[in-house]
Copies of this chain bind each other. A is one copy, B any other.
Amino acid sequence: MNNVIKVSQKAGLPPGSLIHVGDIRGSKVQIRVLDYCADSVNEYEFDNITKALTSPNNGHVRWIEVAGIHRVEVIEKLGNYYDIHPLILEDILNTKQTPKIDQQSEYVFITAKNLAYQNDSERIAVQQVSLILGENYIITFLETDHDCFRSIKERLKNPKSKIRTLPADYLAYAILDCIVDHYYMVLEDMGEKIELIENLIMKESNPTVLHTINRIKREMLIIRKAVWPLREVMNSIGRGDSQLFHESTLVYIRDVYDHTIQIIDTIEMYRDMVSGMLDIYLSSVSNKLSEVMKILTIISTFFIPLTFIVGIYGMNFKMPELEFEYGYAGVWIVMISISLLMFRYFRQKRWL
């Protein structure tokens, strides 16, 4: 279960105690620095945070990407250098953080969940993305080395791209937009799964269907848990609460806000569809049982009386019928008549 909170080890510690909460997914911590301005883009990779911080800045915007947050000292040094509040550093280290925004005077802190279906398309991988937006820098924190913002970097490296000429808040928008686009991808995969189950349900009703439905319901919970608070974050930025986001960027932020609403609507629709499928599944189980019972009843109702009749003449009494010339034939006539009556009765009941 991916979603169980594992923060109890922090109980009783003073606030701002920097402890990594979550699974360590990779051993290395990779620091990528990307300086850009309208004219140039420079990208560096570092193993060491001190080197990264002291490297000369060659652009009007610097984007530092920290991939791997399990080494507390890296976060701490970054925090000291950019003067980040300890409680925010604590939030960055806690991978169970609910998406939220924290607007400080010098910077804005945003944390969100990046979702992706893993290779085998069976489980949703949740990765926490934290983002600190300052006047002319952005720091992003990822849990793993997996580079989910490659498309943004490619746009940055393109000399004709608008993003290079715009301030840091536009890059923040691009990152948030990219995260929300990933939700669409997950939803599409989910939609295909739902369609699959739907077709399956029509044909057979084995219990695995129920488990699949339940897994989809749980995945929808994961997405909802990621999107609902993010919607509030986008709404808060879109209202223009923070002066770090310029008016020109807010148009785009509000567009992302619309997307979050659309995703929530789609999830709600999926929920209704899945619950409708559950109804169909459960009633198909009932129907099958009813079907089985009908067959049993027809067979039993046909043969039980007949078996009784043949039982009678198996008795060792001196029965007068035994002496009749057409006794045996008579019994057959009686039995066939009963069968025909039964058949008519079942026809009338629309069972046959």
Contacts and interface: CB of A to CB of B under 8 A. Distances in A.
B313 A315 contact: yes
Given A8-B181, A98-B265, A301 B295 contact: yes
A272 to B, nearest CB: 6
A14 B181 contact: no
Interface string A174-195: 1001100110110110011011
A155 to B, nearest CB: 6
A272 B221 contact: yes
Interface string A58-97: 0000000000000000000000000001010000000011
Contact of A293 (B96, B296, B312): B296
A32 interface: no
A84 B168 CA distance: 26
Nearest to A286: B285
A185 B308 CA distance: 61
Interface string A314-332: 1111111010000110010
Interface string A285-308: 111111011111101110111111
Nearest to A295: B297
A276 interface: yes
B299 A289 contact: no
Contacts of A311: 306-307, 310-311, 314
Interface stretch (A36-44, A122-130, A207-215, A237-245): A207-215
Contact of A218 (B191, B273, B285, B314): B273
B276 A184 contact: no
Contact of A258 (B10, B100, B306): B100
A5 B214 contact: no
A28 interface: no
A318 B328 contact: yes
A215 to B, nearest CB: 9
A192 B107 CA distance: 38
B280 A214 contact: yes
A262 interface: yes
A50 interface: no
A299 B292 CA distance: 12
A287 B262 CA distance: 38
A184 B308 contact: no
A350 to B, nearest CB: 8
A181 B282 CA distance: 38
Contacts of A178: 11-12
Interface string A87-117: 1000000001110100000000000000000
Contacts of A98: 258, 261-262, 265
Interface in A260-290: 261-262, 265-266, 269, 272-273, 276-290
7 contacts: A285-B286, A286-B286, A292-B294, A310-B311, A310-B315, A314-B316, A317-B327
